[in-house]
Amino acid sequence: MRLVILQNSATVGEWSAKYVMKRINDFKPRPEKYFVLGLPTGSTPLAMYKKLIEYHKAGRISFKYVKTFNMDEYVGLPRDHPESYHYYMWNEFFKHIDIDPENVHILDGNASDLVAECTNFEAKIKEAGGVELFIGGIGPDGHIAFNEPGSSLTSRTRVKTLAQDTLEANARFFNNDITKVLTSALTVGVGTVMDAKEVMILITGAHKSFALYKAIEEGVNHMWTVSAFQLHPATLFICDEDATLELRVKTVKYFKALSAVHSKMIEQ
């Protein structure tokens, strides 16, 4: 496990975008060998998406032979609703790059059979050869995707009821009216993400500092689902200074001393 500590959310976005670009370019994707990328939504990855669009427009990266799988989607929200994750992904990222729409996979929260939708999503990931790099963010309560506190650490893609903390956190996307926030969602499971060859988790802001502390300094606990990634053989936590406020000084110094190594990880 690596913890990369950067100055602010902008540098987190830039570092993570450069890492994604390097991983894809080093993989050399082609028609018979697609790079499979797991993607998050929310405010944290926006800076990364903006940088990836910039690098694409500069000719530094192509998504022509990339397949994507998104983490989650609300149940019952129309695809064209401004707060649906379909809308978010197409407007914030996909329409600005050269990805084939057929290679984009986002859970359908309006499917007639939600259980079958989740089962098919798992099958599509397997058919694609598994996820090469799964990127995620976390909530203040340490949940990844919509795997709320108490979720099984071996869970698969499923329908999930959202916790009160998540409803309150997401109310800002619905005019701060919590009654408008959808109460259930489709989400990949912790086990689904753990199956990826590599996982990169983005954490920014002081309001997520306790979650980062729980993720890396305490034991694995299903009440803090992100802590499961201590057990993954290739996990990257990318955070800003504010997110380290609850960490021990010794922990911060240890990982900051590796900054030269972390810089080499994004050398093109």
Catalytic residues: 72, 141, 143, 148
The CA distance from 21 to 50, in Å, is 13
CB atoms within 10 A of CB 62: 14
Residues whose CB is less than 8 angstroms from the CB of residue 88 and which lie 6 or more positions away in sequence, other chains included: 41
Residue 129 CA: distances (Å) to CA of 32, 44, 142, 211: 11, 27, 28, 31
Which candidate, 133, 136, 129, places its Cα nearest to that of 34?
Answer: 129
Residue 185 φ/ψ, nearest 5 degrees: -150, 165
Nearest to 69 by CA among 113, 111, 118: 118
- Other residues' Cβ atoms within 10 Å of the Cβ of residue 30: 10
Closest CA to 185 of 132, 141, 143: 143
DSSP category for residue 102: G
* Nearest one of 137, 140, 148 to 85, comparing CA atoms: 137
Measured CA to CA, the distance from residue 150 to residue 148 in angstroms comes to 6
Q: Nearest Cα to 201, choosing from 232, 171, 222?
A: 232
